[in-house]
Amino acid sequence: MKIAHVGWGYPPEWLGCGPVVYVHHLAQAQARAGHEVAVVCASDRQAEGRPAYEPKALVIEGLPYVHLQNRPAHMHDLWNPERDISDPRCAEALAYVLAELTPDVVHVHNLVGLSFDVIESARAAGATVVASLHNYFTLCPRDDLFFANVERCEGAAVRSCSSCLGTGLGDDPYRRRHQAGVEALNRCDVVLAVSDRVAEIYRHQGVDPERLVVDRIGSVAAEELWRTVGEDRVGADEPPGDPLRLVFFGSLTPRKGIVAFLQALRLLEHPERVRARVHGGAAPDVVETIMTVVGTFSPAHAGRLEFRGAFGQPDLAGMLGDADVAVLPPRWEDNGPQTVMEAQAAGLPVVATRVGGIPDVIEDGRNGLLVDEGDPRHLAAAIDRLSGDPDLVRRLRGGITAPLTMDAHRLALDALYRRAAGAERAA
Encode pLDDT of 287-334 as tens digits.
999 999 999 999 999 999 999 999 988 999 999 999 999 999 999 999
Instruction: Confirm if 174 and 80 have CB atoms less than 8 A apart.
Output: no
Q: Are residues 188 and 271 in the same domain?
A: no
Quote the CA–CA distance of 18 and 337 in Å, as a whole number. Answer: 8
What DSSP element (H or E) covers 129?
A: strand 128-133
List Cβ neighbours of 11 (8 Å cut-off, separation of 6 or more). 20, 21, 24, 60, 61
| Statement: residue 127 has pLDDT above 70 | yes
Q: Are residues 158 and 270 in the same domain?
A: no
Query: For the segment 146-172, what is each residue's pLDDT rounded down to a tens digit?
Result: 999 999 999 999 999 999 999 999 999
- Strands (DSSP E) contained in 141-293 are 146-147, 151-152, 190-193, 212-214, 244-249, 274-279
Q: What pLDDT does 22 receive?
A: 94
Quote the CA–CA distance of 65 and 67 in Å, as a whole number. Answer: 6
User: Which residues does residue 210 pair with via DSSP β-bridges, in sequence order?
Assistant: none
Burial 28-58 (b: 16+ CB within 10 A, else e): bbbbeeebebbbbbbbbeeeeeeeebbeeee
Span 398-416, average pLDDT: 96
Span 212-225, average pLDDT: 94
Q: Are residues 107 and 39 in the same domain?
A: yes
Q: What pLDDT does 201 receive?
A: 97
Q: Are residues 63 and 207 in the same domain?
A: yes
Please give the single-letter amino acid code of residue 141.
P
Chain centre to alpha carbon of residue 4:
20
Q: Are residues 103 and 246 in the same domain?
A: no
Query: For the segment 170-214, what is each residue's pLDDT rounded down to a tens digit?
Result: 999 999 999 999 999 999 999 999 999 999 999 999 999 999 999
Q: What pLDDT does 75 receive?
A: 87
Residue 353: give its domain's CATH number.
3.40.50.2000
Q: Are residues 239 and 383 in the same domain?
A: yes
Helix axes of 172-185 and 196-205: crossing angle, nearest 10 degrees: 120
Q: Are residues 87 and 58 in the same domain?
A: yes
Q: Are residues 177 and 291 in the same domain?
A: no
Span 385-410, average pLDDT: 97
Whether omega for the bond prior to residue 243 falls within 30 degrees of 0, making it cis, is yes
Burial 259-277 (b: 16+ CB within 10 A, else e): bbbbbbbbbbeebebbbbb
List the domain range (segments joined by +) for residue 278: 226-398
308 three-state secondary structure: strand
Span 91-101, average pLDDT: 97
List the one residue out of 327, 342, 318 whose CA is nearest residue 226. Answer: 342
| Statement: residue 268 has pLDDT above 60 | yes
Q: Would the CA dihedral through 289, 291, 293, 295 be positive or negative? A: negative
Return the number of other C-beta atoms located less than 10 Å from residue 287's C-beta.
13
Q: Are residues 297 and 377 in the same domain?
A: yes
| Statement: residue 130 has pLDDT above 70 | yes
Q: What pLDDT does 427 receive?
A: 53
Q: Are residues 204 and 317 in the same domain?
A: no
Q: For a pLDDT cut of 90, what percent of the chain falls above it?
A: 91
Q: Are residues 146 and 250 in the same domain?
A: no
Span 125-130, average pLDDT: 97
How many structural domains compose the chain? 2
Q: What pLDDT does 312 receive?
A: 86
Q: Are residues 205 and 300 in the same domain?
A: no
Q: DSSP character for 255?
A: G
Quote the CA–CA distance of 422 and 44 in Å, as a whole number. Answer: 36
390 three-state secondary structure: helix
Q: What pLDDT does 424 receive?
A: 58
Helix, strand, coil distribution of the chain in percent, nearest 5: 40, 20, 40
Instruction: Confirm if 39 and 5 have CB atoms less than 8 A apart.
Output: yes
Q: How confident is the model at residue 422 (pLDDT cuts 50, 70, 90)?
A: confident
Burial 235-254 (b: 16+ CB within 10 A, else e): eeeeebbebbbbbbbbbbbb
Query: For the segment 38-73, what is each residue's pLDDT rounded down to a tens digit?
Result: 999 999 999 888 999 999 999 999 999 999 999 988
Q: What is the mean pLDDT of the chain?
A: 95
Q: How confident is the model at residue 14 (pLDDT cuts 50, 70, 90)?
A: confident
Q: What pLDDT does 423 receive?
A: 64
